[in-house]
């Protein structure tokens, strides 16, 4: 795995992807949000390429606001898409093309849908997006709870894409101060 000129991809880091039917964020997803915030802070301080890919389906857009602390800044690319996969934005593939030979880390939400669809498309394109499971969340898909939904999604993701666990990421990346 090459750590030169890494790219951090935040997929579906939007409020409607973490707020359950009860209007609250599951504690497991709160942990994921904190990890993504820390990784994003580190990426920005280290000069990594950062991009955000947001789902913009039909209907009212009020719930599609970014999660506080995960909003794009002016230097970061933002892709708006209507399909499940990040590749449904016609320009998204350019992010990976610019990151060829280095690591592209995929984090975010909607594990059983957008994350999985993006991994499928990535595999079909012979790219190498690396997923950080501990920095990916999901809403519950009945009859499963959040934990079971994530486990089901990652059973498939890990069969198709490289994954790096949080501990290995924080140990392996050349950083000035370790991520916590």
Model-wide pTM > 0.85: yes
User: How crowded is residue 77: how many other Cβ atoms within 10 Å of its Cβ?
Assistant: 18
Q: Could you tell me how many residues make up the chain?
A: 180
pLDDT by residue for the chain (180 residues), tens only, comes to 345 668 999 999 999 999 888 989 999 999 999 999 999 999 999 889 999 999 886 665 544 789 999 999 999 999 999 899 999 998 998 877 877 777 899 999 998 899 999 999 998 887 779 999 999 999 889 899 999 998 899 888 988 899 999 888 887 665 444 444
Q: What is d(CA 40, CA 115) in angstroms, rounded to the nearest whole number? A: 18
Q: From the DSSP assignment, how many helices (H) and strands (E) are in the chain?
A: 5, 5
Every domain of the chain and the residues it spans: 7-170
Q: Two tokens at 34?
A: 């904190």
Superfamily of chain region 7-170: Isochorismatase-like (3.40.50.850)
Identify the CA nearest to 83 among candidates 104, 54, 61. 54
Q: What is d(CA 59, CA 63) in angstroms, rounded to the nearest whole number? A: 10
């Amino acid at each position: 795995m090459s750590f030169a000129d890494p790219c951090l991809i935040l997929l579906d880091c939007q409020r409607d992807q973490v707020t359950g039917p009860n209007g609250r964020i599951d504690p497991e997803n709160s942990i994921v949000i904190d990890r993504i915030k820390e990784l994003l802070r580190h990426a920005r301080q280290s000069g990594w390429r950062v991009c955000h890919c947001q789902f913009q389906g039909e209907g009212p857009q009020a719930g599609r606001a970014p999660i506080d602390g995960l909003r794009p800044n002016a230097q970061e690319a933002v892709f708006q898409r209507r399909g499940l996969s990040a590749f449904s934005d016609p320009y998204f593939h350019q992010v990976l093309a610019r990151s060829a030979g280095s690591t592209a880390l995929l984090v975010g939400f909607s594990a059983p849908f957008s994350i999985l669809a993006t991994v499928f498309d990535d595999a079909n394109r012979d790219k190498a997006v690396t997923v950080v499971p501990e920095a990916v969340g999901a809403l519950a898909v009945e009859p499963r709870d959040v934990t079971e939904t994530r486990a089901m999604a990652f059973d498939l993701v890990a069969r198709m894409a490289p994954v790096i666990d949080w501990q290995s990421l924080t140990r392996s990346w050349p950083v000035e101060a370790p991520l916590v």
